[in-house]
Amino acid sequence: MRAQRKDGRILIYSHDTFGLGHLRRCRVIAHALVERYKQLSVLILSGSPIIGSFDFRARVDFVRVPGVIKLRNGDYTPLNLHLDIGETLSMRASIIQHTAEIFDPDLFIVDKEPDAALRAAHPLIAGVTRVGGYPAGRTSLDAPIARAISKAVADAAGGSIVRLPTIGGSAPFYLFSDVLKVPTIGLSIVNFDNNQHGPNENVRIKNIWEGIESMAAILAMP
């Protein structure tokens, strides 16, 4: 945070050449930062053509630079502009530089692995690497056991149910599905706004009763 001002500023560069993973991750980081630090503003730089379709919290905004995409051979080409890639990259660099100079961030986060040249040019670069964890496990929704459980739960609920191929969480399902080769299916019974593992964690009484009925239906399966 600069001595002459009371607010904090973070500039985030979201790599935009493939998919939406980078943009979504940067958006989550930005929202978490402004939620925790009330005097902080975050500005995201991205060439994603749909960044304007996302909702952003107060004190989070974005600057869109001309988009590029990565080809199968590893080269880059402009996303929409009929320009030479060198010209496009020059425009991107100019916009990023001028934005950084005016915004004057206290921290610049780049969602991209720096190469050796970049590390050499900027000795204060700090990398954040996730360690530990374990792989995700998955059982096909078309597997017989998945279809049978889905039918049992839907019958107990008296209507259609939501089935998701992937859930966000740290349940070690892979130990069963990959190591023991046993199909594994998760059944969530809590309300969507239960604040799991957070302040005011809760569960509605109605969800408990419906969960009991769902479990009973599974246990009664032939």
pLDDT tens for each residue of 8-29? 999 998 876 656 778 888 999 9
More confident residue, 168 or 212: 212
Which pLDDT belongs to residue 193? 85
Which pLDDT belongs to residue 50? 85
Q: How many domains does the chain fold into? A: 2
Query: Do residues 113 and 175 share a domain?
Result: no
Query: Do residues 197 and 152 share a domain?
Result: yes
Q: Which of 2-16, 117-131, 133-147, 163-177 has the weakest average pLDDT? A: 117-131
Query: Do residues 19 and 106 share a domain?
Result: yes
pLDDT average, residue stretch 107-111: 86
pLDDT average, residue stretch 49-74: 87
Query: If we measure between CA atoms, which residue out of 102, 128, 124, 153 comes closest to residue 26?
Result: 128
Query: Do residues 114 and 14 share a domain?
Result: yes
Cα(44)–Cα(60) distance, integer angstroms: 8
Q: Is residue 131 part of a domain?
A: no
Identify the top-confidence range among 99-113, 144-158, 161-175.
144-158
Cα(186)–Cα(210) distance, integer angstroms: 16
Which pLDDT belongs to residue 202? 92
Q: Which range marks the domain in which residue 201 is found?
A: 144-219
Band (123; pLDDT cuts 50, 70, 90): low
Does residue 150 register a pLDDT over 90? yes
Query: Do residues 110 and 26 share a domain?
Result: yes
Whether pTM > 0.85 for this model: the answer is no
Which pLDDT belongs to residue 115? 67
Query: Do residues 111 and 47 share a domain?
Result: yes
More confident residue, 139 or 103: 103
Query: Do residues 60 and 95 share a domain?
Result: yes
Q: Is residue 126 part of a domain?
A: no
Query: Do residues 34 and 74 share a domain?
Result: yes
Quote the mean pLDDT of the chain: 85
Query: Do residues 116 and 213 share a domain?
Result: no
Q: Is residue 15 part of a domain?
A: yes
Does residue 135 register a pLDDT over 90? no
Task: Give the tens place of pLDDT for each residue, 27-61.
Answer: 999 999 999 999 999 999 998 888 888 899 999 99
Query: Do residues 113 and 18 share a domain?
Result: yes
